[in-house]
Structure 1
Amino acid sequence: MRMRASVAVVGGALALSVLAVPAAQADGGYGDTRITKVVVDGDNKVSMGVSSPVTLKVSVTATDDSGIEDAEYFTLNGPDYGIETTGKPTCTAVNSTTSTCTASVTVDPKVDYYSNKNAGTWYVDAFVNAEDGDFVWKEKAGSFSFQRAGKLTVNAAPEPVKKGRTLTVTGALTRANWESLKYGGYGSQSVKLQFRKKGSSTYSTLKTITADSAGNLRTTTTATVDGYYRFSFAGNSTTSAVSAAGDFVDVQ
């Protein structure tokens, strides 16, 4: 990531020089071209683990009374000097005045040297041209969360258990460490213990507990009927939401 950043910064500077955008228009443009919507990966959340590449798909919707001709590029900027630049966007007309331009960039935790500090809120800068020569260049046109992937485990014991007896539910919350390329404990986080009755498709929350400093989870509950127990973490700006696969308990 640090190596990519140095190259991207130079490339971005050269691109701006070639386009010769006046300083007064660095975040604005010319004419009536406007960016109306920016979406990254459908929900503005992207998580990355420690081994597999991730493709960030950026969609920018823009409008102009004469229609949109094309988009130059999209630049993604994040914490700790994080920066990525997409390939050339492809624009598809929504109607005579509006188009949605899409482009992507693939990042790889094994080769891009990401820092854990790169996780958090990232911003999309976009440059879009209209058919009549108008254009818009907007910094922070949209934002998204670039998150360290989370993992959760769960185990409910004993199995089987007699009705009315106490179940002990244990597990661990971990998240991707982009620097060591391993998963490590994510401590002091609020995690929900949830239950789904056999034959049902819906989990309900039994209680909320806090992981210890190493991310370990341990709590108890009373066995009532057959069903599945799981832990669920809501996620935050730096770490993705995650739920453990349900552990089935037979109540006798």
Structure 2
Amino acid sequence: MRIHATVAAVSGALVLSAFVVPSAHAADSAHSSYRAAVAKVQEAARAASGRTVFTGSTGAVDGVPYDLDANFSDIKVNGGKAIAVGTTKHVTVPVTYTLTHGADVDITADDFLNGPYLYKGSFDAPDNSLFGDAPGTCTPTSATVASCKGDIDIYPADPDWELLNSDAGAWKAAGLAIAYNGEDTDPSKVGVADQGGFISPNIQRYSKLTANAAPEPVKKGKTVTVIGKLSRANWEDNAYHGYTGQSVQLEFRKNNSSTYTSVKTIKTDSKGNLKTTTTAKVDGYFRYRFAGTSTTPPVNATSDYVDVR
């Protein structure tokens, strides 16, 4: 869901409807109910208060959630590795973090929920946000500190939680905690901690690369033609399209060797296609290798064997 922070006033009915414990806290709930509920709480809290930061005390305000005494730290997303997302497959991104809270905050309560999320753009007005299907789980390490883990769940083909091609690249990580305190009618008795600005690896459009060398077999000294194609996921039509104007290495590995050497660098055409020639010298394997960009992961084509006679 493309979440946009709102600072305009909202009606009391909307605020109250947001602060209902999400049914996704139950094991048999649909995958989207928890993340939809927490996103709604976040947006309603920001709109009602005109604030985006919910850490530290600002004093009680009627109809507005109070600042929960909880802070996030040491957020680590996907082990620091880039997150490659294709066109249809559900991607689960593991996150670990530390939750520090006041002595009066019961993180073991059934209606205390917390978890990580990712956002694109600014924390105050994100272009997009990605949550998990379920809240994070925490193990107390002291009376006020807990070691936690959670997931970010990405469904590229789900129109309700869309990714646009422009979303590829840099994101930030954040943590959101909600203490309902047994309350579902008075938002001012619900605590919210919402904290962003943490490092996250890039989210990238999954890439594919092919290579086919011909003729096979070929006489020594004759020309080998290697064709291929570099494509990447398009999140807006859920298909793969050629990645144009990209530098790709043609590599060769001798038979019975484990090492590839660079033959030449060429660029993809307007449809992502590759075509080049080289001279046949010895038996071995040709492949293309793409080093990747900030929006697209590196990829190696499956090698193609050529018998030189």
- The two structures have a TM-score, normalised by structure 2, of 0.65
Most deviating of 94-103 and 183-192: 94-103
**Which residue number in structure 2 is paired with residue 110 of structure 1?**
157
Q: Confirm whether residue 167 of structure 1 aligns to residue 224 of structure 2.
A: yes
- 5+ residue gaps, structure 1, are 130-135
The match for 2:298 among 213, 218, 241 is 241
**Which residue number in structure 2 is paired with residue 84 of structure 1?**
130
The match for 1:35 among 67, 73, 78 is 73
User: Could you tell me how far apart the structure 2 residues matched to 1:176 and 1:157 are?
Assistant: 28
Q: Relative to 1, partners in 2 of residues 1:24 and 1:227: Cα closer, same or farther, differing over 3 Å?
A: closer
Contact 1:27-1:139 at 8 Å conserved across structures: no
Task: Give per-residue Cα distances to partners, 1:185-235, cap 9 Å, x unaligned.
Answer: 110001111112222223222221111121111111222221111111111
Listed as ranges, the matches of 1:74-223 within 5 Å are 74-78=116-120, 81-86=127-132, 87-92=134-139, 100-112=147-159, 113-127=162-176, 138-223=195-280
Largest Rg, 1 or 2 = 2
SS at match of 1:12: helix
SS at match of 2:200: strand
Pairwise CA distance, 1:81: 1.5
**Which residue number in structure 2 is paired with residue 133 of structure 1?**
none
Contact 2:52-2:194 at 8 Å conserved across structures: no
SS at match of 1:88: coil
Pairwise CA distance, 1:107: 2.0
Contact 1:188-1:212 at 8 Å conserved across structures: yes
Task: Give per-residue Cα distances to partners, 1:117-144, cap 9 Å, x unaligned.
Answer: 1211111012589xxxxxx864121211
Pairwise CA distance, 1:34: 6.7
User: Could you tell me how far apart the structure 1 residues matched to 2:263 and 2:230 are?
Assistant: 18
Q: Relative to 1, partners in 2 of residues 1:163 and 1:81: Cα closer, same or farther, differing over 3 Å?
A: same
User: Could you tell me how far apart the structure 1 residues matched to 2:272 and 2:52 are?
Assistant: 50
Q: Relative to 1, partners in 2 of residues 1:229 and 1:63: Cα closer, same or farther, differing over 3 Å?
A: farther
Pairwise CA distance, 1:250: 0.8
Pairwise CA distance, 1:43: 3.5
Q: Which amino acid aligns with 1:122?
A: W
User: Could you tell me how far apart the structure 1 residues matched to 2:206 and 2:303 are?
Assistant: 19
**How many matched pairs?**
242
Task: Give per-residue Cα distances to partners, 1:60-108, cap 9 Å, x unaligned.
Answer: 25679x9xx9682212102582211233222357899976421113222
SS at match of 1:10: helix
- The two structures have a TM-score, normalised by structure 1, of 0.79
Q: Relative to 1, partners in 2 of residues 1:177 and 1:28: Cα closer, same or farther, differing over 3 Å?
A: farther
Q: Relative to 1, partners in 2 of residues 1:160 and 1:101: Cα closer, same or farther, differing over 3 Å?
A: same
Identical-pair percentage: 39
**Which residue number in structure 2 is paired with residue 56 of structure 1?**
93
User: Could you tell me how far apart the structure 1 residues matched to 2:303 and 2:149 are?
Assistant: 37
Structure ranking higher in strand proportion: 1
User: Could you tell me how far apart the structure 2 residues matched to 1:75 and 1:17 are?
Assistant: 19
Task: Give per-residue Cα distances to partners, 1:25-78, cap 9 Å, x unaligned.
Answer: 646799996723x332223311111121111222225679x9xx9682212102
- 5+ residue gaps, structure 2, are 4-31, 58-67, 108-112, 179-192
Q: Relative to 1, partners in 2 of residues 1:44 and 1:16: Cα closer, same or farther, differing over 3 Å?
A: farther
Please report the RMSD computed on the Cα atoms of aligned residues, expressed in angstroms: 3.7
